[in-house]
A and B are shown apart, each in its own frame.
Chain A
Amino acid sequence: DAKTTQPNSMESNEEEPVHLPCNHSTISGTDYIHWYRQLPSQGPEYVIHGLTSNVNNRMASLAIAEDRKSSTLILHRATLRDAAVYYCILRVVQAGTALIFGKGTTLSVSS
């Protein structure tokens, strides 16, 4: 699986939008972009995934660059509960099964 690069940390205020970037310049055509997050003292939790088109679900939105070399996870209105480590992971869904976690981005949310 290709490597991703994320900022170590980001800060946000409650109720504001948060844009978490991820660079994956060596992404291949069969790599899906997955996002997981880990809340304090819990296991990782799936957030969203996509291939080429932007994706929305109840938790977040995923914006994928046209060249697929970068993506952005968007939390539309941050809450205190969104404070977590966010992981951007590339995964060849058809062949690979393991998730390869990097260091992720630690998001802090202030009230």
Chain B
Amino acid sequence: EAGVTQFPSHSVIEKGQTVTLRCDPISGHDNLYWYRRVMGKEIKFLLHFVKESKQDESGMPNNRFLAERTGGTYSTLKVQPAELEDSGVYFCASSQEVAGPRIEQFFGPGTRLTVL
């Protein structure tokens, strides 16, 4: 079974440009999460989808970040316009359940974003 995949693995852009990160969760996982780690800091939660609905977006830093999950399958995270402080590693995770025996979150390898 394929794990969580993320694309691209690396992205280098100039300040002010737009970048779109993609996450493909494990097939059948309704729950999809975005996290990020900026330089020197801890991994922070950004938002959580249940199917195509945003369940919790309390961690989104500002309105330059837009996450979508059309059709409840893959998700995209767009940063527009990118700022220097957006540099970091963006992780996507998915889980089959929120509560119960199958609540573990499976993480992708991350997308390393560098804003110059």
Using CB atoms and an 8 Å cutoff, list the residues of chain A in contact with chain B: 41-46, 49, 93-94, 97-103
Contact = CB atoms under 8 A, between A and B. Distances in A.
Contacts, number: 51
Nearest to A34: B104
Given A46-B105, A101-B42, 16 more contacts: A42-B107, A42-B109, A43-B4, A43-B93, A43-B109, A44-B43, A46-B104, A46-B106, A93-B98, A93-B103, A97-B56, A98-B45, A98-B56, A98-B59, A99-B35, A103-B42
Pairs A-B, 6 closest by C-beta atoms: A43-B107, A98-B45, A46-B104, A101-B43, A44-B107, A94-B99
A28 B59 CA distance: 23
Nearest to B43: A101
Interface residues of B, number: 25
Q: Which of B43, B93, B103, B104 has the most CB of A within 10 A?
A: B43
Given A43-B93, A44-B43, A44-B91, A97 B31 contact: yes
Interface of B: 4, 31, 33, 35, 42-45, 48, 55-56, 59, 91, 93, 98-100, 103-110
